[in-house]
Amino acid sequence: MPEGDTVLQTARRLHTALAGHPLTRCDLRVPRYATADLTGRTVLDVTPRGKHLLTRVEGGLTLHSHLRMDGAWQIYAPGERWRGGPAHQIRAILGTAGRTAVGYRLPVLELLRTRDEARVVGHLGPDLLGPDWDPDEALRRLLADPARPLGEALLDQRNLAGIGNIFASETCFRAGATPWLPIGELPAPERLVTAAKNLLEAHRERPGHRRTLAVYGRADRPCLRCRTPIRTALHDGRPAYWCPRCQSGPTP
């Protein structure tokens, strides 16, 4: 699943490519919106909200999309070959005079009134990378269910928005707890929230720097702190990684 920072990068690229320009092409390949036509409307902004992308256009409309597991928005210059996947995977095309944005494999594509955005993203907790980030509210939501395993609580976007598998494992490592520790048993939960925020921000500044990851994807390799081999297991169907020495708490 894309992390909040992946969605943020996508939103930034889309915003740079489209915002301020009128749409000259609009093709939404979802039966419900097949006849929707946004051409002539200027793109106002492209905003990430958790893992959702909100593309706002003139006239009070928002195109809501979600990347889920392997969706992607690609941006092309005129004449450039599209290489995001086969044509049947294209769900949306938004073009301006200078750029064409092509949405591939988008499991969620929905056109709604901008004033109704809360209907699709209002359930999200504070966004780690959003302008309205609120650590106290995130902590309050996380601790509302103290028996919940840490990894699961971090992945629940209703608690705080923006954490996927990678940063769930990384945040647990920095908190010194396994993903299975009930969150109410964490000695200093406020540090957890700070760690998550710092991780996402560091990754946003240097996207793609996998070597900054301490445990994720490093199964059987030595822990960067104590040299103990990193372990991995499925947590709720998703891969989790941890150091058995640096992190305390239950394991599968």
- Give me the active site residues, please: 2-3, 51, 238
Q: Is 129 helix (H, G, I), strand (E, B) or coil?
A: coil
Residue with Cβ nearer Zn ion (30 or 224):
224
Give the per-residue SS3 of 69-115: CCCEEEEECCCCCCCCCCHHHEEEEEECCCCEEEEECCCEEEEEEHH
- Position 38: which residue type? L
Q: Which residue has the tokens 């396994």?
A: 178
Whose CB is nearest to Zn ion?
A: 223
What are the tokens at 115?
């004033």
Helices (H), 134-188: 135-143, 150-155, 165-175
Stretch that binds Zn ion, among 35-43, 70-78, 179-187, 242-250 (CB under 5 A): 242-250
Residue with Cβ nearer Zn ion (161 or 243):
243
Q: How far is the CB of 245 from Zn ion (least distance, A)?
A: 5
Q: How far is the CB of 216 from Zn ion (least distance, A)?
A: 14
Q: Give yes or no for residue 246 binding Zn ion (CB under 5 A).
A: yes
Q: Is 23 helix (H, G, I), strand (E, B) or coil?
A: coil
Q: Interface residues for Zn ion in 198-237 (CB under 5 A)? A: 223, 225-226, 228
- Give which of 158, 159, 226 is closest to 192, Cα–Cα: 159
Map residues 122-161 to x or -, x wherever contact with Zn ion holds by CB under 5 A.
Answer: ----------------------------------------
135 touches 126 (CB < 8 A)? yes
Q: Which residue has the tokens 């009128």?
A: 22
Residue with Cβ nearer Zn ion (62 or 169):
169
Q: How far is the CB of 206 from Zn ion (least distance, A)?
A: 23
Q: How far is the CB of 242 from Zn ion (least distance, A)?
A: 9
Residue with Cβ nearer Zn ion (68 or 227):
227
Write out the residues near Zn ion by the rule CB under 5 A.
223, 225-226, 228, 243, 245-246
